[in-house]
Structure 1
């Protein structure tokens, strides 16, 4: 019996070898239909298919690997197509692990969409054969697919940031078209696999808790979400306000989001894990290269599920309106808001403006869903501090004008969503820690508006808008001369203008001292108004004298204060940096005419500031007189 089996095996091996030679000969003769007939005709198909396991890898190396190239595709497209069909066929019979390794290598090295697609179709067959066995191998295969997408060339402006006009033409770029074509090809690859997973990889009735270990369903879930991150996230155009037709980017994003949601079951499930990853520091096991407990939960590992990709998934759900109709409704808006703040902070800290846009849009959407004010107790979460720091960095220093404007809008909405105590704590913390004068002036004006609104309402003022807390905040808002008389007034001009307007406002608005403004005024006069008056006179005289020296052609290199200011303003003129940078750095000297223009602009700014100073001082004096008269009449 054993001898008979050996004879059969030998006979099959001989027939298989003959079949391999026949296929090669037919390809050499360009008889591609003849090759197809070997596996499609009723007479030949059954016998030849039975022989494929013996020659599958030989067929791959000798035929498919050599012919699935760009050169063959351009010169002999029929040979390429025939080799493509053979590869998909032999994928059903070749040794799984051996062919899988070959396909992974070729996928990562694919030089074009055609070569990528051919090997991806074969990998689809291999993974269907693999089933739920060896999930690690499945993960490696999917990672090779993502590696190829990540390494595709893209225009630089995607990472540097682009405006609305560029966004409308983004899909017409050749490299972007190629990337989207690869994503669409991956979509065709994953569809039958996803359907099979949803049908067969289901939780057993006896299983109470979700299995978060390394299994096929979780691996594909991570893969879908990972695909929503870079590079696809760089193409996100949600910041374009005008209506657009449904773009390929939207179609790809929606499809991936839907697949991920279906595999997760509960689309909000990852939010609990986001807090674990972003808030709690887990121990790193250096030997294993993973964090504590992450071996039991694939969703806790950054390499498998990058947080920025998770953020883009929830951006698609909320901003892109891709939340499934059957999504649970039990989650409180406050929980969703606090969880999303973690993800928004992750996006705001990315280098690419498109991802920063998504972070702003994501938190903007969640802010709009909150019905009741958020209690100040929520600020005990450290993420609020980190979020504000990242947000203010964008508002103050982003080179993208539209991004700064949106960031300022989100910052205002974020502050206003809290109760009075929360608003006060946020503004006070920012004013104590920020270094950007324009933004600090804006926040001071925002506090003034909050006090104004509270004054209009009946009843006693909230504690944060009067008395000791008001005094502390007011001094932060208006006392902005860090170096007393020697302070650089032009460097702090924006905030000083806001401060003087705040003083003028309260002098007129609060004559009865409901807030405690007049009790704080002596400190303000001592710490701001008196030294500011002297600094204005000193700076005005200094700049005018410097201007005269420049007009006469005299060197002023010995005047470090003037040179520093000239350097700072020259930066703006030459667009070589941002104003308010390192004041001690020396820039190349600019021409005499340019110097005069810079100095004239500086003197104009000082005159404006001096005018506001005089108006505020006059209003304070007038209001003080009225208060004294009112006090005398009452007595």
Structure 2
């Protein structure tokens, strides 16, 4: 009997010292799914309990790294079940090794496509939802361990500080991938069992549970500057994580109950501008959408409908505005362009009178885009109308001398007589309507700006007349030549190349070369109609100017 017991102890020692080598083939056997793997699971579980923890972890993490790209979700959800108890057996080395484990797992999860629609999330073909759910289960015991220690003692040991750091890093990495790419919607997801929504909620809750106050992460961090020691350890990824954190908090209202209500809306907007800038600076649709939504919610929090000028003068506001304008003008996705325009307009409405005046002048000098400039000119007209209805002192920015200063900066043609009127059609038409409105309004008033206003109008109309003459002559001759060529050469061109007649012109910065003659004819005719509309407005303004005599 004694010999038998000795033999058993010997076998157990062998298994404990060499059993970790069996993990790899056992995992592969389970992943094959060719037959019932209950026994394999049981063996793996037993080995995880008795073999050397460091060796086991090394083997399991190598299996994570070598995951089959086609079966990432199945592999890591299986391995997480066994990595967790191994980590629980560790002592002081747990924080460092847990960091390695979470890095390896997150790296694999990041390779999985993020579902774009709610239906794709429900189907979970690639398993991202399963992996997110498994990750939450994986970290839960370690979160509870930190919370338990915090409850016992207000002074954290070095070990628990390191554990908090590891969990903090995991949460911030998860915010960037996959949550920054995820399509989240409070109304859709809160009432349904959405793995990604649950993941986002738990990540936010975990940050608070490990004593990471949300204001410290979001509001104070951007203001710390280079003197903060944590900045040295930071990188662009963590800034992006904070941007996602701000989005989840202020747009989706996840964990908003954990955020103190003592911060002013203007202060929150100021801090969020850094994150909005990060999101709008990317070309990815999910990022841009989150940036626009965060901008809207931050602006809506500014309840007094005014924004101190000193905030407008911060460099970050100019950078964000340029990103917003770029989306409005260059983004190939229409609904993003439309939404960017809405946000741009909302931002201008939140400025006070002085800030609006300065902002309009700045944009008109720097935008170089007719569509954006037409929006600004429309806003100027609206502000002039509003200032007429108010007797306040601030609205003087759109009256009298200050209004004349604004008009001299805005009622101009960028290239003088050589300005492409068709390209700048939006700006020219709105500017003419603004000028006509102001002349009609001021001609029977004694505001003291009538003479100067007429001088500005005469100078503008004089140059515009030259542009119209040149443009109408050019486009008219091109249309006439096109008609003549169409009659004389259409048969020759068809026989020679089988292609439709083409001409070479530039309209709105796009060459007409390669465009069928019918399309060219439409463009030319539309251009001439536009010039006729401009000319009719010019004639009306000239009539008003003649009345002053």
Q: TM-score range by the shorter chain?
A: 0.7 to 0.9
Give 1:40's aligned residue.
none
2:297 counterpart SS class: helix
Distance in 1, matches of 2:6 and 2:258, equals 58
User: In the alignment, does 2:129 pair up with 1:129?
Assistant: no
CA contact (8 A) 1:273 1:299 kept: no
Give 1:572's aligned residue.
none
Give 2:57's aligned residue.
100
**Deviations along 1:586-606, whole A, 9 cap, x unmatched?**
675222222222222322332
Give 1:565's aligned residue.
506
1:257 alignment partner, one of 204, 213, 217: 204
Q: 1:490 to 1:496 in 2, by over 3 A?
A: same
**Deviations along 1:359-411, whole A, 9 cap, x unmatched?**
11112112112233221112232211111111111122222222222212211
Q: Which moved more, 1:438-447 or 1:404-413?
A: 404-413
Task: Give 1:449 shift.
Answer: 1.1
Give 1:196's aligned residue.
145
Q: 1:180 to 1:326 in 2, by over 3 A?
A: closer
2:180 counterpart SS class: helix
CA contact (8 A) 2:87 2:97 kept: no
Q: Which moved more, 1:391-400 or 1:257-266?
A: 257-266
- Map residues 38-53 of structure 1 onto 2, 5 A cutoff: 52=16
Give 1:16's aligned residue.
12
- Map residues 281-430 of structure 1 onto 2, 5 A cutoff: 282=226, 294=229, 297=230, 300-302=233-235, 306-372=238-304, 373-430=306-363
Give 2:498's aligned residue.
none
Task: Give 1:203 shift.
Answer: 9.4
Give 2:121's aligned residue.
171
Give 2:29's aligned residue.
67
Task: Give 1:232 shift.
Answer: 3.2
Task: Give 1:213 shift.
Answer: 11
1:414 counterpart SS class: helix
Name the structure where helix makes up a greater proportion of residues. Answer: 2
Distance in 2, matches of 1:244 and 1:612, equals 56
User: In the alignment, does 2:520 pair up with 1:595?
Assistant: yes
User: In the alignment, does 2:233 pair up with 1:233?
Assistant: no
Give 2:103's aligned residue.
143
2:423 counterpart SS class: coil
Task: Give 1:434 shift.
Answer: 0.9
Aligned residues: 527
Distance in 1, matches of 2:242 and 2:416, equals 48
CA contact (8 A) 2:250 2:256 kept: no
CA contact (8 A) 1:142 1:223 kept: yes
Q: 1:15 to 1:368 in 2, by over 3 A?
A: same
Normalising by structure 1, report the TM-score. 0.75
User: In the alignment, does 2:538 pair up with 1:609?
Assistant: no
2:257 counterpart SS class: coil
Task: Give 1:536 shift.
Answer: 1.1
CA contact (8 A) 2:129 2:195 kept: yes
Task: Give 1:530 shift.
Answer: 0.8
2:368 counterpart SS class: coil
Q: Which moved more, 1:498-507 or 1:412-421?
A: 412-421
CA contact (8 A) 2:387 2:396 kept: no
Q: 1:429 to 1:110 in 2, by over 3 A?
A: same
2:514 counterpart SS class: coil
**Deviations along 1:182-219, whole A, 9 cap, x unmatched?**
22222222223322222225695357xx9999722122
4+ residue runs over 6 A deviation? 7-10, 210-214, 239-244
Distance in 2, matches of 1:211 and 1:313, equals 27
Task: Give 1:543 shift.
Answer: 0.8
2:127 counterpart SS class: helix
Task: Give 1:267 shift.
Answer: 1.5
Distance in 2, matches of 1:149 and 1:125, equals 20
Distance in 2, matches of 1:616 and 1:246, equals 63
- Map residues 373-522 of structure 1 onto 2, 5 A cutoff: 373-460=306-393, 462-479=395-412, 481-511=413-443, 512=445, 514=447, 516=449, 518-522=451-455
Give 1:186's aligned residue.
135
CA contact (8 A) 2:506 2:512 kept: no
CA contact (8 A) 1:376 1:421 kept: yes
Q: Unaligned stretches of 5+ in structure 2? A: 490-502
Distance in 1, matches of 2:158 and 2:504, equals 66
Distance in 2, matches of 1:605 and 1:246, equals 55
Give 1:269's aligned residue.
216
**Deviations along 1:105-140, whole A, 9 cap, x unmatched?**
322332322211111122222332336635333222
Q: 1:147 to 1:456 in 2, by over 3 A?
A: same
CA contact (8 A) 1:261 1:324 kept: no
Distance in 2, matches of 1:183 and 1:195, equals 18
CA contact (8 A) 2:439 2:454 kept: no
The CA RMSD measured in Å over matched residues stands at 3.4
Distance in 2, matches of 1:60 and 1:534, equals 84
**Deviations along 1:548-603, whole A, 9 cap, x unmatched?**
21122279xxxxxx83425x5xxxxxxxxxxx4xx6xx675222222222222322
Q: 1:182 to 1:542 in 2, by over 3 A?
A: same
CA contact (8 A) 2:468 2:535 kept: yes
Distance in 2, matches of 1:485 and 1:260, equals 61
Task: Give 1:503 shift.
Answer: 0.6
Q: 1:174 to 1:496 in 2, by over 3 A?
A: same
Distance in 1, matches of 2:179 and 2:360, equals 36
Q: 1:238 to 1:601 in 2, by over 3 A?
A: farther
Normalising by structure 2, report the TM-score. 0.85
